[in-house]
Amino acid sequence: MISNRISALSILGKLFLYLWTLFILFILGWIILASLKTNQELFKGFWSLPETLQWGNYYIAWVQSDLASYFFNSLLVVTVSVIGIVAVSAPAAYVLSRFNFFGKEFLTNAFVVGIGIPYQAVIIPIYLLLMKIGLINSFTGLIIVYIALSLPFTIFILTGFFQSLPSDVEEAAIIDGASENAIFWKIMLPMARPGLITVAILNAVGLWNEFLLAKAYINVNEKYTLSVGLYQFYQSMQYNSDWVSLFAGVVIVIFPILIFYLWLSDKIIAGMTAGSGK
């Protein structure tokens, strides 16, 4: 009886996932189709095929709407932020997972609590702090905020991963006289590469699509990230109604990070699986 229930739930779960996947693929396909139409064709028939593929919509979105500069702004901010997140989180997670010291449990719990704090609860205090130190409207300020707010999740994931690594190699290195720094940099960090890649990819995807913080702390047009730039592009639609170019902008925002995620998805699965237990 129980096995039948489990089997039925499994079938329902798989059916839901298949339907959800088809729905997402349908939405993505429709956005691409809409981005290749004229505005007249878009409103004439939502499901009709374009008579001629309008690649000029992408030129308007990329060049005339300045999404190109916003794209490279996002690329810079996300790349530096991810490097900073991993550089800070890896040593912290290693210490929390492999050493016993006073306050360890408190620090671990603090990072867990930090995961549950929404950005909206700290956006005003952070804004006042950035304004006080002169980092409003700067990539440096936004990068610092991204790193700080991403640390709880990243350290939590990496702590579990470092705990899953075998201690035999570490003990052998200690017997051979290796220092703690050498053990971390030359032994444990290379062994933790799947976990580092996993958190790097997850943070990159999340920060690429981040809008609220970038909108709050960057108010200079030439420093907008891609998500904020797309929002400004949407705001301009009330004046020119060029909706097909907006859909082209959506494709530009979504597909680079989607392709990046799909390309490295097997590494995410490998990293999460490797860190699931000893």
Tens-of-pLDDT digits for all 278 residues of the chain? 556 666 777 788 888 888 988 998 888 888 888 889 988 888 887 777 888 888 888 988 888 888 899 999 999 999 999 999 999 999 999 988 888 888 888 888 888 888 888 888 889 999 999 999 999 999 999 999 999 999 999 999 898 888 888 777 777 877 777 777 888 888 888 888 888 988 998 899 899 989 999 999 998 888 999 999 888 888 877 677 788 888 888 898 888 888 877 777 666 666 555 544 44
* Residue 53 included in any domain: no
Query: What confidence score (pLDDT) does residue 5 get?
Result: 65
**CA–CA distances in Å: residue 169 to residues 166, 182, 185, 186, 219:** 7, 13, 13, 11, 51
Q: Indicate whether 27 and 86 sit together in one domain.
A: no
Do 8 and 88 lie in a common domain? no
- Report the pLDDT value the prediction gives residue 166, as an integer from 0 to 100: 78
Would you state the pLDDT for residue 276?
47
Query: Does residue 48 belong to any structural domain of this protein?
Result: no
- Are residues 66 and 28 part of one domain? no
Strand (E) or helix (H) holding 235:
helix 226-235
The reply to whether 30 and 85 lie within a common domain is: no
Same domain, residue pair 167 and 270: yes
Same domain, 30 and 107: no
Q: Where are the alpha helices (DSSP H) in 36-103?
A: 39-44, 56-59, 67-98
For residue 158, is it within any domain? Answer: yes
User: What CATH number is associated with residue 132?
Assistant: 1.10.3720.10
Q: Is residue 50 in a domain?
A: no
Domain membership of residue 96 (yes or no) is: yes
Q: Is residue 116 part of a domain?
A: yes
Q: Please tell me the pTM assigned to this model.
A: 0.84
Place of tokens 């991204």: 146
Tell me if 68 sits within 8 A of 233, measured CB to CB: no
Nearest residue to 264 via CA among 206, 209, 205, 207: 205
Whether residue 49 lies inside any domain: the answer is: no
- For position 61, what pLDDT does the model report? 85
Nearest to 184, CA basis, from 102, 270, 93, 108 = 93
Q: How many domains does the chain have?
A: 2
Q: 188 with 64, same domain?
A: yes
Same domain, 139 and 12: no
Res 175: pLDDT: 79
* Same domain for 200 and 62: yes
Structural domain boundaries enclosing 233: 58-274
CB 76 within 8 A of CB 95: no
Looking at the fold, whether 74 and 132 belong to one and the same domain comes out as yes
**Same structural domain, 27 and 162:** no
The tokens describing 112, both together, are 């867990």
Residue 155 lies in a domain: yes
Are 146 and 77 spatial neighbours (Cβ–Cβ below 8 Å)?
Answer: yes
One domain for residues 17 and 78: no
